[in-house]
Amino acid sequence: MSRIVVLGGCGGIGTIATRTVAVGEDFDQIVVADLRAEEAAALAATIDHRGISSAAFDATDPASIRAVMDGADQVLNCVGPFYRFGAPILQVAISAGVDYVDVCDDLDATLAQLDLDDAASDAGVCALVGMGNSPGLANVLARYAADHLLDVVDRVDISHIHGGEPAEGGAVIKHRIHAMTNDIPVFVDGEQRSVRMLEDSGREFIVDTDFRDVGTFPVYPYPHPETITLPRHLKGLKRCTNSGVVFPLSYFNLTMDMVRVGACTTEALTVDGAQVVPIEFSVAHILSQRERLLAEAGVTGPAGCLKIVVGGSKDGAPHTFVFSLSSTSEGAGEGTGIPAGLGAVLMHRGSIASPGVHPPESIVDPIEMMALAGEVIGKLGVTSAGEGGGVPIHIEHIKPDGSSEELPLEL
């Protein structure tokens, strides 16, 4: 009996991840685990799977995490923010001997998880971290270009946009604030540098980017881990950046403004005799303004795009490949939750099996993953699916003479 536990399984990303692993017959038992027990049970009741169930757990309590993993072969972790919960939950999985997949997109958390590689190897646990959108699909497509399109990859520039989701939770806002207040690594001229999104050092990396089906928006440097992990696994890489933004810009700008005025600190202040933590107020305020700002911008639903520009050489000549995954009907939940679910299925099937802690580009076979995505996406009813219900990836090839062509994804 195969048993997978989806932690944070009824959140915006966890819900999609749960539905993804439930599409096929890979898992006999699927447990939707969440602090919100009633919501987890309600989600489980909507999923047509003979072995679906729900459980309550508290991510702040290691004993609670261990208890919900009891009897599991694998855990899929969708609990954020990962700078708080990523490494601690992975540590519990290692101690329990349970294989692990997550969607961690925080740099510091990823580094802490990679430091657990020896412990995971010794325990015989396979851990795939950052198997979402960016990181996740971005890493896998960079690997695809390196393995099948180019002799040498020397440049990977990743950019992403999303917005308009039905709701956002406080963990999402805190992750965004975390990105705005911490060092951001960029890999330029073969060397690591650190910049800050809202300081002068990050300004040169703010560029207007054309996103397929979404529009042109400025993107800002983001502390996602691809800029650390890709240079370790793609030999010859000289440049790697990661940039992103959320629409509408008025909503993203509100978050930046709260950071700039110092309203996102964690030390409590006394206000009329009450203790108030600035970041908790700021998160609540930002979320309270969300509906108004979306309405003012005319945003009526979710959309998003992941864009990966991979440059290098083939037969001594320069070539560039631009990968775009876009949607005008789905947002971060689908873009992140589906790849996570696919990673869990591949691990269950034995395609991802090496003990240790791995980023996607080091252990996920791009062809195998895209083939599985083609099988699953149509069954999920994703309206932005490509031809025949497959993966909606558009590939533009820019040739040495500057002309371009669209290419199919060769599986």
Same domain, 64 and 174: no
**pLDDT recorded at residue 9:** 96
Q: Are 28 and 21 in contact (CB under 8 A)?
A: no
> Could you tell me the pLDDT band of residue 388, with boundaries at 50, 70 and 90?
very low
Percent helix, strand, coil in the chain, to 5, is 40, 30, 30
* Alpha carbons 203 and 195: distance in angstroms, whole number: 9
Same domain, 279 and 299: yes
pTM of the predicted model as reported, rounded to 2 decimal places: 0.93
SS (H, E, C) 212-279: CCCEEEEEEECCCCHHHHHHHHCCCCCEEEEEEEEECHHHHHHHHHHHHCCCCCCCCEEECCEEECHH
3-state secondary structure of 392: coil
Same domain, 229 and 143: yes
- Could you tell me which residues are beta bridge partners of residue 54? 32
Cβ atoms within 10 A of the Cβ of 321, count?
23
Domain that holds residue 119: 3-132+332-380
Kindly state whether residue 239 falls inside one of the protein's structural domains: yes
Q: Are 319 and 149 in contact (CB under 8 A)?
A: yes
Lowest average pLDDT, out of 163-177, 347-361, 371-385, goes to: 371-385
Same domain, 368 and 276: no
**pLDDT recorded at residue 397:** 98
Quick: pLDDT tens for 43-71: 999 999 999 999 999 999 999 999 999 99
Kindly state whether residue 410 falls inside one of the protein's structural domains: no
**pLDDT recorded at residue 384:** 56
Quick: pLDDT tens for 80-133: 889 999 999 999 999 999 999 999 999 999 999 999 999 999 999 999 999 999
Percent of the chain's residues with pLDDT above 70: 98
CATH of the domain at 317: 3.30.360.10
Same domain, 178 and 86: no
Same domain, 251 and 181: yes
Kindly state whether residue 219 falls inside one of the protein's structural domains: yes
**pLDDT recorded at residue 344:** 98
Same domain, 97 and 207: no
Kindly state whether residue 313 falls inside one of the protein's structural domains: yes
Same domain, 343 and 259: no
CATH of the domain at 83: 3.40.50.720
- Residue from 139, 327, 169, 322 nearest 229 by CA: 139
H/E stretch holding 333 reads: helix 332-348
**pLDDT recorded at residue 328:** 83
Quick: pLDDT tens for 207-225: 999 999 999 999 999 999 9
- Sign of the CA dihedral 47, 90, 78, 277? positive
- Sign of the CA dihedral 32, 33, 34, 35? positive
Same domain, 171 and 112: no
Quick: pLDDT tens for 123-146: 999 999 999 999 999 999 999 999
Same domain, 198 and 86: no
Give the chain's domain count. 2
Q: Between 329 and 365, where is the model more confident?
A: 365
Spell out a b/e string for 164-196, using b for 16 or more CB atoms within 10 Å of the CB, else e: bbeebbebbbbbbbbbbeeebbbbbeeeeeebb
Q: How deeply is 356 buried, as exposed, middle or buried, from its count of CB atoms within 10 A (0-12, 13-18, 19+)?
A: buried
* Alpha carbons 30 and 22: distance in angstroms, whole number: 7
Q: Are 87 and 109 in contact (CB under 8 A)?
A: yes
- Average pLDDT of span 144-173: 95
* Alpha carbons 89 and 80: distance in angstroms, whole number: 11
Average pLDDT of the chain, as a whole number? 94
* Alpha carbons 127 and 85: distance in angstroms, whole number: 15
- Residue from 245, 248, 243 nearest 164 by CA: 248
> Could you tell me the pLDDT band of residue 159, with boundaries at 50, 70 and 90?
very high
Give me the phi and psi of 359, to 5 degrees please: -80, 160
Kindly state whether residue 17 falls inside one of the protein's structural domains: yes
Same domain, 109 and 17: yes
Quick: pLDDT tens for 235-276: 999 999 999 999 999 999 999 999 999 999 999 999 999 999
Kindly state whether residue 230 falls inside one of the protein's structural domains: yes
Kindly state whether residue 385 falls inside one of the protein's structural domains: no
Same domain, 69 and 117: yes
Q: Are 337 and 20 in contact (CB under 8 A)?
A: yes
